[in-house]
Structure 1
Amino acid sequence: MPKVIDHDQRRREVVEVAKKLIAEGGFEAATMRSIVAAAGFANGALKHYFASKDEIIAATFESVLDATAQRMSELGPYDSPAESLRGFVTAAMPLQPHQITSARVLLVLWEHSVANPDLARQYRDMLVTWRAELCVRVAAASGGGVSPDTPAVGVLADEIVSVTIGANVACLMHPVGELVGRYTAYIDGLMGRIAG
């Protein structure tokens, strides 16, 4: 009887290999040949799961974005809207080694997405969803019945998105964990401004 192969599991394994290669050596390190070798596949076997490197890169990008979204959706429960906002921002900042690894992969894929409209759309969609959730959480943490549609709330959400993206880039230029104190201080200051 032929061996039953879980194609979805194999695809996930290939994506994990691609993430590791990208994190360690950049986009150029994730060649079809290096992926095949690191995944332990025979030459040509990769074509059963992905037609091209672009498909692997798209799946890898989606995997990293999904993992970030999952971290954020699994937050809570919290005692207050302010703690809910703090948890959401903390989940997006590069405070843990696995978040820093994800940042390294995203940085490489951001560059690649500039020339790939599908990847750019994926990232834009995630940012739109993320900003909308931030607006809801900022408004709730502000108290006093502030609406998520208030311009000042949108400005704060944009600040958080921009600072978080910048923090994910900057953390890659320093030894792992060196900037955690600064980022934690930013979150504390942000919460002081929003929730008093």
Structure 2
Amino acid sequence: MVSILPRIVDHDERRRQVVGIARNILLEYGLEKLTVRRIAESANLSTAIISHYFRDKRELMLFIFLDTLEIAESRFAQAVEADLSTTACLQTLLPTDQESRNNWKVWIAFWNMTLTDREFRQQQVARTENTLRMIRGLLDRNAHPRSTDENEKDVEERRIFAVLVGIAIQAIHDPESWPVEQQSRVLESEFGRFADMTR
């Protein structure tokens, strides 16, 4: 008699699969259409299996939110590690390709949650502060002549971040007026003094 071994399930892989499918549903239909049933049907899984990996829809949404922020941070970190110019590194934070556009769409979709849900808000603030630290490291890496005053440094980093967010929001909502070239031109105009920092 042939014994059939139970199939070994990679739980981390299954969780990533569910998150990926949920993220695609969010991008195609919006947050209001993101339901456990729809995710289960798309993944060809039962709702019970989805519930095994995530306690409820809110936990799943938080996981998507954090995963998206990690993707964006990773892109920026890789550009810095590759020793790209300051502006090239900053451009990784803009919606210049399909992955980064999707990241911004997901992030924007969750903005209301960051206003109404304490954990979402705390995560958003923490990730923003981490991005500001990365921007600071980028500027310091290039020996950019900056004030030694910590308050002035903080203002400069927050100004850079605010400009990036402003460009990205315009590019997501009005992509025809804000193609990649336009985003780059505005960024270069704002941070033209970084142009000589290409490594």
The TM-score bracket by the shorter chain reads 0.7 to 0.9
Give, in whole Å, the separation in 2 of the partners of 1:112 and 1:30. 14
1:85-118 residue CA offsets vs partner (Å, 9 max, x unmatched)? 2232111011112111111111011222211111
Residue of structure 2 in register with 1:128 after alignment:
129
TM-score by length of 2: 0.85
Q: 1:168 to 1:40 in 2, by over 3 A?
A: farther
1:134-186 residue CA offsets vs partner (Å, 9 max, x unmatched)? 12323444634x35754443222112211222233222222478432221012
Residue of structure 2 in register with 1:181 after alignment:
181
Give, in whole Å, the separation in 2 of the partners of 1:174 and 1:12. 31
Residue of structure 2 in register with 1:168 after alignment:
168
Residue of structure 2 in register with 1:88 after alignment:
89
Residue of structure 2 in register with 1:108 after alignment:
109
**Residues 114 and 121, structure 2, Cα contact 8 Å, conserved in 1:** yes
Q: Secondary structure at the match of 1:41?
A: coil
**Residues 97 and 177, structure 1, Cα contact 8 Å, conserved in 2:** no
1:60-103 residue CA offsets vs partner (Å, 9 max, x unmatched)? 00110110111111124327xxx1x2232111011112111111
2:21 is equivalent to residue 17 of structure 1: yes
TM-score by length of 1: 0.87
Instruction: Give 1:40 shift.
Output: 1.2
Q: Secondary structure at the match of 1:92?
A: coil
Residue of structure 1 in register with 2:56 after alignment:
52
Residue of structure 1 in register with 2:70 after alignment:
66
1:34-64 residue CA offsets vs partner (Å, 9 max, x unmatched)? 1111111123221111110011001100110
Q: 1:148 to 1:59 in 2, by over 3 A?
A: farther
Report the identity percentage.
21
Residue of structure 2 in register with 1:26 after alignment:
30
Give, in whole Å, the separation in 2 of the partners of 1:124 and 1:143. 26
**Residues 139 and 153, structure 1, Cα contact 8 Å, conserved in 2:** no
| Rg comparison, structure with higher value | 2
Q: Aligned residues, how many?
A: 191
Give, in whole Å, the separation in 2 of the partners of 1:113 and 1:185. 31
> What code does the residue aligned with 1:188 have?
E
